[in-house]
Amino acid sequence: MKQSENRIGGAVTLILFIFIFLPLLAVILNAIFPGIFFGKVEFNGFHIIFDIFERKLWYVSLKNSVTLGIGAATFGTLLGGVLATIRSKCDYRMGRWLDIAVWVLLIAPSFMIAQGWVLFASSEGLANSVLGWSWVTSFIFQPIGLIFVMGLTKFPLAYLTVVAAMEWNVSRFEHAARLNGARPFTVWRTVQLPLSLPAYIAGWTLVFIDTIGDFGLPAALATVYRFPTLPYSIYSAINQSPVRFDMAGVLSFYLVLILALAMALLFIAIQKSKVDFLNSTAIRVTKKKPNHAWLLNIGTVAFLLLCLGVPIGTSAAVSFMKQFGAGIRLDNFTLAHYIAVLGGGDKLDHAQLSIMEGLKNSLTIAAIAAVISVILGFIVAYVLTFTNSKLKGSLHVFTLISLAVPGVVLGIGYIFIWNQKWLEPIGLHLYGKPALLVMAAVAGAIPYAVRVQLGTFANLSPSLLNAAAVQGASTWTKMRTIILPIVRNTLLIAMLASFGTSVFDLATASMLKPPNFVLLPLVIDEAFEFAKYGYATAASVLGGTVVVLLIIVVQFVFNIIFKKMDQQDRKEVNSIVTNFTNK
């Protein structure tokens, strides 16, 4: 049994090594040995690493990324912390809508949210043409404004982290403070905040990691505002002629270094924080009706309109406009963009690409990646929870690395690894083929698939598996007959989450797109880049609607199937019990 578990653990570790760690290692090696993967083994010294401080574009990209990351992480964590504190203590009507908006922002593609803000705040945007707010343009298109937008987009990571930390309440500390005359704010500042400090640090780190590796914001800004960041400059280095592998390697090295330092900060902060305050006296926080609930409801509605209504509402409005910048008027209303998207009108003049073809390809790749990632995540979660495999530490590391490494870095690593001439005779020259997009999507979905399933696996008793092992059941039999029926709902959720996040992955699609292969996020981004705003927003609305409907339909169908399976299982159990009783 141990040998079987070790083989399974070794197999999934090898797969994750190839999918995640090997591309990352290739990026780091190319920064020191430029051209090593293309027959030019050269060592130009480590001075190339320090050229970033002498080359203006490289240095500006580094500075912009660090500034944006620190600013958005600080603002997003403060915002998420305040909202989480209110939500964990107060029960009010709009609080549920806040939770829904948090998940929408967490799943929604960042480049679509950024495009909505660009269409709202540009000189011809809705803020200026409809509301007359000319100051919005000058505010948004500067570093402070970009930090504001990114903080509004990324705060859900900090919000969910702090909410989870405030689920339990150790009231004796609060009572002791109140008995000594502390006011409610003093209690929060001196008791609750220090106890939840690890959660705030974790939230800050997650927002920072997600911000500094974001490719969507600079891609959307490229049409109206020049703000180079590390991910976008890496993309530009690969897509220019001649290809600048030295630039891509060095910038990727610094991006990975920054992310590694952020993860180290998280681990050190958690280890040094005194968080062992939960004991038998801890109780779940009971939400109370606030005295002025209407104020919270109004404030929440205004906030939701700002963080979600502005980008999504703007995109929806522009998709029905004949001319962008002409305002919201009846004579400016049209369905031509949707007709064009559905194939009934002119396609993009410069590309002649069909959005429907891109949607089909993206849905296919996302579906395949979702199934593979859930299967791998299921096996990884089993190994981490129920085995003593020596490779458990490596599995943890690989899943965490995938969560932190941006898609642009992963994409350039895949180019280095899978664009080798010696792979052609054995049929593994995957660069320029859809299979590489599937691999990249699987690598991006693995950490979410694993984390979603680990929570359910932790609730399973090992005694079930021990009883099956005593009866001679193999590892695969235990996984198929015991664990799979129990966690199938979780598997469905993990699969749908992986599917939804893979459809609109702009970073890996931009880096690994095969020639003449259409993908939904690329068509949308390309239309936006060529100022086809109506077409781009109509494609975004239509594509997002199709994905949401597919998720709802699949979940509905599988729930019916699961209910029938449960009924069949009950009948079989009752039949077995009846036969046993008769005997």
Mean pLDDT of 483-507: 82
As a whole-number percent, the residues of the chain with pLDDT over 90 amount to 8
Count helices and strands in the chain by DSSP H and E runs: 29, 2
Neighbouring residues of 386: CB distance < 8 A, sequence distance ≥ 6:
457, 460, 462, 465
Report residue 75's pLDDT band, with 50, 70 and 90 as the boundaries: very high
Task: Please state, in angstroms and rounded to a whole number, the distance separating the CA atoms of residues 536 and 323.
Answer: 13
Q: Kindly report whether the global pTM for this prediction surpasses the value 0.75.
A: yes
Measured distance CA(126)–CA(119) in Å, rounded: 7
**Average of per-residue pLDDT across 239-243:** 70
| pLDDT winner (highest mean) among 7-11, 73-77, 478-482 | 73-77
Nearest of 83, 68, 206, 218 to residue 145 by alpha carbon: 68
Structure tokens at 63: 């500075």
Tokens 């640090």 correspond to what residue? 201
**Does 280 score more than 60 pLDDT?**
no
pLDDT greater than 70 at residue 26 = yes
Nearest to 90 by CA among 329, 300, 296: 296
CA distances from 181 to 169, 193, 195, 513 (A): 20, 18, 20, 64
The reported pLDDT for the residue numbered 151 is 92
pLDDT: which is higher, 148 or 90: 148
What CA–CA distance (Å, rounded) separates 321 from 366? 31
- Looking at residue 332, the DSSP 8-state letter turns out to be G
pLDDT band at 348 (very low <50, low <70, confident <90, very high): very low
107 within 8 A of 497, measured Cβ to Cβ: yes
Cα 80 to Cα 210: distance, rounded to the nearest angstrom = 15
Query: What pLDDT band is residue 347 in, cutting at 50, 70 and 90?
Result: very low
d(CA 225, CA 389) in angstroms, rounded, equals 51
**What tens digit of pLDDT does each residue of 219-234 get?**
788 778 888 888 888 8
Identify the residue with better confidence: 451 or 86: 86
Instruction: Quote the CA–CA distance of 260 and 254 in Å, as a whole number.
Output: 10
419 near 433, Cβ under 8 Å?
no
Buried b (16+ CB within 10 A) or exposed e, 135-172: ebbeebbeeebbbbbbbbbbbbbbbbbbbebbeebbee
CA distance 477 to 471: 11
- How far apart CA 353 and CA 337 sit, in angstroms, is 14
Domains plus CATH for the chain? 1-26+356-516 (1.10.3720.10), 55-343 (1.10.3720.10)
Which pLDDT belongs to residue 573?
A: 61
Dihedral of the alpha carbons of 369, 103, 521, 362, in degrees to the nearest 10: 30
Average pLDDT over the chain, rounded to an integer: 80
DSSP 516-549: T---HHHHHHHHHHTT-HHHHHHHHHHHHHHHHH
